[in-house]
Amino acid sequence: MGGMKTRQEAHEHERLLSSPEEEMLVDWIKSLGRRAVPATLDMVRDFASEISGKKVGVNWPRKFMERHPDLKIKKTTQLEACRAQSLNCKAVTEFFDMLKDIIESNFLEYYHCARTEAFLPSTILSAFAKLGIWPLNPAAIPEKAFEPSKETSSRAAMPVSVTLAPLLKVVHPDADLSPLSQGPFTISDPSAAALTPTPPPSSISPSAHLPLSPVPPVPLSATSNTSDSTSTSSFRYRPAGLPKELPPTASRDALRSQITILRQMLYAAKEQIERDHAQKTYSSSMPRHMTSDEMLDYLAQTEWTAQWKALLKAAAPKLKELKKEVEEIEKKAVVDAKWAEAEKKRLERESERLRKEEERKLERERKAQLRKEQAEKKAAALRGGKRGYKAKQTDLTSESGSDAKSELSDFNSDGIPIAAAEVAERPRPRPRPLRPSAQAASAVATLDLPVSASPAFPSIIDTSTIAHRYPQRSRKK
């Protein structure tokens, strides 16, 4: 309105960060978010303090978020399912795009930082000391390093000239390139060719038409140092020993002979190709000196390994059967062990039961013997009382006696000692008072005593004539 500034623009000079600086900080926060390293409020506060050179307040990050609503803040939570499944093609593509941008734009900067951290003076000095550069130490290189290196190449690289195969020969560029212009097989007269006998195919050998020795190579100086600067690539090759082209009037025998020769040449070429491209049976990175001890051991080990594999393959069915039998035996052994353990426990339980029964039986016998002994003691005590009484009477009547008799008087018939003075007698019931009977009343009447004044136990009454309720046992004298 009328060219007036907005409130935000008017108070921009009062803010710690200008609008371009805040935009730069916003881009940096978004970049951290895309790299899966979200910035916290403390990080934003630290960034702002570094940019402005002053320490910002505690509430400045929230005001900054309000001025830039495209930035969102969220509390950290546990990993959600959507975040766990965020590894998709789009995210991977964006990551590699960012990596490509970093490599193209500021790779040298990051490389310089890594190099500064890695190539420290201590690290460099340690490497120099290991190599003997600083301090100088010629003995740092071991004697093993002076040994000749082993031949590890898989192709032959001998310092000899290359020879051509016996089936090829060099043809100069200016020579006639007709394939059938030259050859050992020539026929000048058709009639003579018809009359010439043709040997059978079995009698013709490739050596009759092929050279016995390889064609010597053309020297390189003859081609590379010439005035016209002809290179070796200008030379051409053709099969050696090709027969001459037959005229149209040639006989059938001549055609058959030529076909036989060509076929034998093909067979020879096939064998030569197979020999040239044959794969080695023992290919390794070991030395090429096949007679060395190391190589012989390696070959023997390889051959033994192949034979062992063949033997295992042949014995696989038998080994499988043996393995099955061993498994069955192990299973049976496990079952037998379980049965033996169960039988052992059963026998232990049975022996424990028998032992307890024997103990109970012995306890019953012991108790029965104890009861028997107690009963015998009681019986002996009763019998011993009477004998003691007799012995007492005997001792009183006869003071003199033998020691044997006095000793025998202290023991009963069972050999149990008894006390002569203190002899247990059978207990007798206490007498109970009797009611006055008719006889007692008649006796009181004869004495002229009132019945009511008579005592319950008159002492003048002879109780011997009264029938006792409990008859007394007569003591034998």
pLDDT in tens, 244-267: 888 888 898 998 999 999 889 888
Query: What pLDDT sits at residue 189?
Result: 40
pLDDT digits (tens, 9 = 90+) for 126-139: 888 887 787 787 77
pLDDT band for position 202 (cuts 50, 70, 90):
very low
Query: What pLDDT sits at residue 358?
Result: 94
Residue 298 burial (C-beta neighbours within 10 Å; 0-12, 13-18, 19+) = middle
pLDDT band for position 118 (cuts 50, 70, 90):
confident
Identify whether residues 68 and 109 lie together within a single domain.
no
How far is the first Cα of the chain from the last one, in angstroms, to the nearest whole number? 162
What does the pLDDT average to over 4-23? 78
Residue 396 domain flag: no
Q: Is the pLDDT of residue 85 over 60?
A: yes
More confident residue, 428 or 458: 428
Residue 441 domain flag: no
pLDDT digits (tens, 9 = 90+) for 100-115: 777 767 777 777 777 8
More confident residue, 65 or 292: 65
Query: What pLDDT sits at residue 356?
Result: 94
Query: What pLDDT sits at residue 449?
Result: 47
More confident residue, 211 or 357: 357
Identify whether residues 276 and 326 lie together within a single domain.
no
Q: CA nearest 27: which of 72, 76, 71?
A: 71
Q: Is the pLDDT of residue 53 over 50?
A: yes
The rounded mean pLDDT for the chain is 70
Residue 157 domain flag: no
Query: What pLDDT sits at residue 10?
Result: 72
Helix axis angle for 60-67 and 19-34, nearest 10°, is: 90
Query: What pLDDT sits at residue 454?
Result: 47
- The number of domains in the chain is 4
Q: Is the pLDDT of residue 308 over 80?
A: yes
Find out whether 379 and 426 touch, Cβ atoms under 8 Å. Answer: no
Find out whether 312 and 304 touch, Cβ atoms under 8 Å. Answer: no
- Give, in order, the Cα–Cα distances in Å from 183 to each of 180, 239, 246, 293: 7, 10, 12, 51
Residue 134 domain flag: yes
Residue 471 domain flag: no
Q: Is the pLDDT of residue 326 over 90?
A: yes
Domain residues for 104? 90-142
pLDDT band for position 330 (cuts 50, 70, 90):
very high
| 3-state secondary structure string across 329-381 | HHHHHHHHHHHHHHHHHHHHHHHHHHHHHHHHHHHHHHHHHHHHHHHHHHHHH
Q: Is the pLDDT of residue 79 over 70?
A: no
Query: What pLDDT sits at residue 211?
Result: 41
Name the least confident of 74-83, 199-208, 344-353, 360-369: 199-208
More confident residue, 198 or 386: 386
Residue 475 domain flag: no
Cα–Cα dist 431/427, whole Å: 12
pLDDT band for position 363 (cuts 50, 70, 90):
very high
**Which of 19-23, 191-195, 292-296 reaches the highest mean pLDDT?**
19-23
**Which of 105-119, 199-213, 379-393 reaches the highest mean pLDDT?**
105-119
What does the pLDDT average to over 180-184? 43
Q: Is the pLDDT of residue 275 over 90?
A: no
Identify whether residues 29 and 70 lie together within a single domain.
yes
Residue 288 domain flag: no
Query: What pLDDT sits at residue 180?
Result: 45
Q: CA nearest 233: which of 295, 173, 193, 176?
A: 173
pLDDT band for position 194 (cuts 50, 70, 90):
very low
**CA atoms within 13 Å, Cβ hemisphere of 156:** 8
Cα–Cα dist 385/420, whole Å: 8
Residue 227 domain flag: no
Q: Rounded to two decimals, what is the model's pTM?
A: 0.22
Query: What pLDDT sits at residue 208?
Result: 40
Cα–Cα dist 45/58, whole Å: 8
